[in-house]
Amino acid sequence: MTDLDTFRSDTRAWLEENCPPEMRKPVKSDKDVCWGGRRFTPSSPEQKQWLDVMGQRGWTVPDWPREYGGGGLSPAETKILREEMRAINARSPLYSFGISMLGPALLKYGNEEQKREHLPKIVRGEIRWCQGYSEPNAGSDLASLATSADDAGDHYVVNGQKVWTSYADQADWIFCLVRTDKTTKQGGISFVLFDMELEGVSTKPILLISGYSPFCETFFDDVKVPKKNRVHDENKGWDVAKYLLGHEREMISGMGLGEGGRDTLVPGAVAAIGLDDAGRLDDPILRSQMALFQVRAKAFAAMSERFIDELKAGRAHPAQPSMMKYYGTELNKDRHELQMAGGGSDALEWDSEATRGGAPARAWLRTKANSIEGGTSEVQLNIIAKRILELPGA
Amino acid sequence: MPLYLDDDQTTLQDTIRDFVGENAPVSHLRSLRDVDDRTGFSRDLWKQFAEMGFTGILVGEDQGGLGLGHVEAGVVLEEIGRNLSPSPFLTTAVAAVEALKGTPHAERWYPGIVAGETVAALAIDETPKHRDRVALKAERAGNGFRLTGAKRFVTHAHVADLLIVAARTAGAAEDAEGITLFAVPTDAARLDKRAERLADSSIAAHLDFDGVEVDADAVIGEVDAGRDPLDRLLRAGRTGASAELLGVGGGAMAMTVGYLKERKQFGRLIGEYQALQHRAAHLYSEMEVARAAVLKAQQLLDAGSDKAEEAVSVAKAMTAMATTLSVNEGVQMHGGIGMTDEYDIGFYMKRARVLSELWGDANFHADRLARAAGY
């Protein structure tokens, strides 16, 4: 047996012993998703238990270094852990912007004190993070952001407004882009971290077309942020921001995957439309559209696997996350369009019990943001054209 | 196994890229066409393939081959696609070799294939669109069988030494079972071949079997159990065609992106226009996704996985769609010059069309996925 075989059998046995059976059932609603944080109320004792055992082992973030609370696993071991978790349908113990976005940026740009302070709490799900990037007048042109951080000796005084701050009303800390120099654009931005309970921070949820409010407006009114909370040099925050956006794109691009067993497109359409005598969906044109969609969806699942493998081996083009983000989000929108067409009037119900409170329609509307948030599809295409295809003047 | 080429495969790719690029670039196809070559490929080049060992890429080392897998065969095919090199590699060294694997026919035919002397052709299709349908009849006659019926779209049949024929020995034309695969010498009596040149300058034949008699030992595998070697043949052939399509689409995209960087209109490089940048970036994305689908299918085939069948259909459909986009965008972005015979981009368009049809187009394979998924 190779070391990896041993690791696989040990992992399998450990998961068998430590993953509660309740945590192997499909995620049914938002309550089943664990985001951790100071205000986290577990929906079941098992959810808390699963977070705790995985967090202690560092397996909520298996490939981070052990010294910062991570699992310290190699890329091959990480892949095995994911495979073994998938094999028993284990839920992800923790969803976290700290894992997918801030953590990688801290590992690259944070100082030792910052890493030791923040990374272990991310691993254990103790602190929930939100991202302060977009502003009312800085969307696709993010570097034009205006939230100011004025030098006041050992701290900055932050004033301004962020928008599209995901779950700001539930987050404990924010990683935030602020302007420390008004005379240049990208070169005048700094990256700071602060507690959302500081005086002068307030949030206001934004009601979306889906009827949900996952995003907030976030206001800063003379917020005092210690300078030691700045990541990387003053006015070098744009480097951190770009690096972090790459990780955000990876996360969003993963949404096109359909996450294995959760694909409801086919069963939904079959239930609403039925099959003809030959066993084919009794709507030949929709069936064709679904079948051609599935070609792309399955091919993209292979692409996601390839991308992760290449990323771990350092072989991925640095701008490849833009391609993943573009393709994955457009695909996800297509999926939900087909899902709505497949469901017919059943899928239109907005609050019914049968639709679990209008889940299909609300999810469909939610996907429209996929190709806007984290850099629009058009911005991704610009990046691909410039950095991968090296087209002129792009 | 990670989803990218390992070091050995990358080394092989470098070798093949240089070899095909030097010995069979697009100008090679153009010159064969311009002299109205009736073989459909260069026998000298096929011999060179043998000297490099490529002809035996899927043949076991104990049988004189390289003993490599579908990933490696695909590496060869992608370069064949990128250079539009006419070659019997796909039919002979990939599909036929797989069909014969593990049967007594392997001993009979592999040495010639490995030596670059034998060319195989695959008589599968009977209708203008590829279907899961075998009507050509094989009836028992004396010590063997008598074959009656017609086949079409049989590439290289007019010059091949070996024909692999899917015939019906039981059941009805649309039945999955009741098929028998035969190895038929191409000089058999009562076999009529009508070779036609296709849009891409390749040559495929219509075959008419008017009671062609073959010995019992012409059967590949078992009588009525031809589904198994036929599926092996089709999986390998479709995966190989996908890899070749990837090369065709990739080659066309490289030409097109190159053109965007040199052609000026309104005083600017046309690649500066966002309207074209976005289309090129979208094309890049489709080709990347197609590449992943092909490698996935190849790896699953090599692993003998039962998930290979689905992955093969995904690869064939995805590469057909992405490459069709690539050649269409290629001609459009080249503008008027893309419509001229003098420019190579049109050759890519023609080859993509032929490969897309081969062994099931995107619609055929999407339909297969839908059936497998229960709708």
Choose the final residue of a domain: B96, B118, B140.
Answer: B118
User: With an 8 Å Cβ cutoff, is A379 touching chain B?
Assistant: no
CATH dotted code for A129-236: 2.40.110.10
User: With an 8 Å Cβ cutoff, is A295 touching chain B?
Assistant: yes
- Number of structural domains found in chain B: 3
Give the model's pLDDT for residue A262.
56
Looking at the structure, do residues B198 and B240 belong to the same domain, yes or no? no
User: With an 8 Å Cβ cutoff, is B11 touching chain A?
Assistant: no
User: With an 8 Å Cβ cutoff, is A291 touching chain B?
Assistant: yes
**Which residues of chain A neighbour B372 with C-beta distances below 8 Å?**
none
Looking at the structure, do residues B362 and B232 belong to the same domain, yes or no? yes
Choose the final residue of a domain: B118, B153, B170.
Answer: B118
Residues of chain B scoring pLDDT < 50: none
**Which residues of chain B neighbour A269 with C-beta distances below 8 Å?**
375
CATH 3.90.220 fits A3-95, yes or no: no
Question: Is residue B60 in some structural domain?
Answer: yes
Give the model's pLDDT for residue A179.
98
Question: Is residue B1 in some structural domain?
Answer: no
Looking at the structure, do residues B59 and B152 belong to the same domain, yes or no? no
Question: Is residue B136 in some structural domain?
Answer: yes
**CATH (domain of B73):** 1.10.540.10
Give the C-alpha separation, A389 to B287, whole Å: 13
**Which residues of chain A neighbour B174 with C-beta distances below 8 Å?**
none
Question: Is residue B2 in some structural domain?
Answer: no
Q: Do A295 and B365 touch (CB under 8 A)?
A: yes
**Which residues of chain B neighbour A270 with C-beta distances below 8 Å?**
374-375
Domain that holds residue B354: 228-372
Give the model's pLDDT for residue A251.
65
pLDDT tens per residue across span A154-171: 999 999 999 999 999 999
Looking at the structure, do residues B19 and B108 belong to the same domain, yes or no? yes
Looking at the structure, do residues B136 and B52 belong to the same domain, yes or no? no
**Which residues of chain A neighbour B369 with C-beta distances below 8 Å?**
291, 294-295, 298
Looking at the structure, do residues B111 and B131 belong to the same domain, yes or no? no
User: Which of 257-276 (A) contact B at CB < 8 A?
Assistant: 266, 269-270, 275
Which of A280, A299, A392 minimises the CB distance to B269?
A: A392
CB B67 within 8 A of CB B97: no
Q: Do A392 and B2 touch (CB under 8 A)?
A: no
Give the C-alpha separation, B50 to A129, whole Å: 61
**Which residues of chain A neighbour B291 with C-beta distances below 8 Å?**
306
The CA-atom distances, in angstroms, between B54 and each of A174, A333, B45 are 58, 44, 11
User: With an 8 Å Cβ cutoff, is A285 touching chain B?
Assistant: no
**HEC string for chain B:** CCCCCCHHHHHHHHHHHHHHHHHCCHHHHHHHHHCCCCCCCCHHHHHHHHHHCHHHCCCCHHHCCCCCCHHHHHHHHHHHHHHCCCCCHHHHHHHHHHHHCCCHHHHHHHHHHHCCCCCEEEECCCCCCCCCCCCCEEEEECCEEEEEEEEEEEECCCCCCEEEEEEECCCCCCCCCCEEEEEEECCCCCEEEEEEECCCCCEEEEEEEEEEEEEHHHEECCCCECHHHHHHHHHHHHHHHHHHHHHHHHHHHHHHHHHHCCCEECCEEHHHCHHHHHHHHHHHHHHHHHHHHHHHHHHHHHHCCCCHHHHHHHHHHHHHHHHHHHHHHHHHHHHHHHHCCCCCHHHHHHHHHHHHHCCCCHHHHHHHHHHHCCC
Residues of chain A scoring pLDDT < 70: 1, 249-262, 394
Q: Domain locations in chain A?
A: 3-95, 129-236, 258-388
User: With an 8 Å Cβ cutoff, is A314 touching chain B?
Assistant: no
Pick the CATH number of A258-388 from 3.60.10.10, 1.10.3720.10, 1.10.10.10, 1.20.140.10: 1.20.140.10
Looking at the structure, do residues B159 and B45 belong to the same domain, yes or no? no
Q: What ipTM does this complex have?
A: 0.96
Give the model's pLDDT for residue A31.
81
Choose the final residue of a domain: B84, B118, B152.
Answer: B118
User: Which of 354-373 (B) contact A at CB < 8 A?
Assistant: 362-363, 365-367, 369-371, 373
Q: Do A306 and B3 touch (CB under 8 A)?
A: yes
Q: Do A391 and B296 touch (CB under 8 A)?
A: no
Judge if pTM exceeds 0.90: no
Looking at the structure, do residues B113 and B141 belong to the same domain, yes or no? no
Looking at the structure, do residues B199 and B100 belong to the same domain, yes or no? no
Q: Do B296 and A305 touch (CB under 8 A)?
A: yes
**CATH (domain of B239):** 1.20.140.10
Domains A3-95 and A258-388 share a fold: no
Give the C-alpha separation, A203 to A196, whole Å: 9
Give the C-alpha separation, B137 to B210, whole Å: 10
Looking at the structure, do residues B73 and B173 belong to the same domain, yes or no? no
Looking at the structure, do residues B283 and B201 belong to the same domain, yes or no? no
- Which of B7, B246, B260, B289 to substitute to test the interface with A, most A CBs within 10 Å? B289
Looking at the structure, do residues B92 and B26 belong to the same domain, yes or no? yes
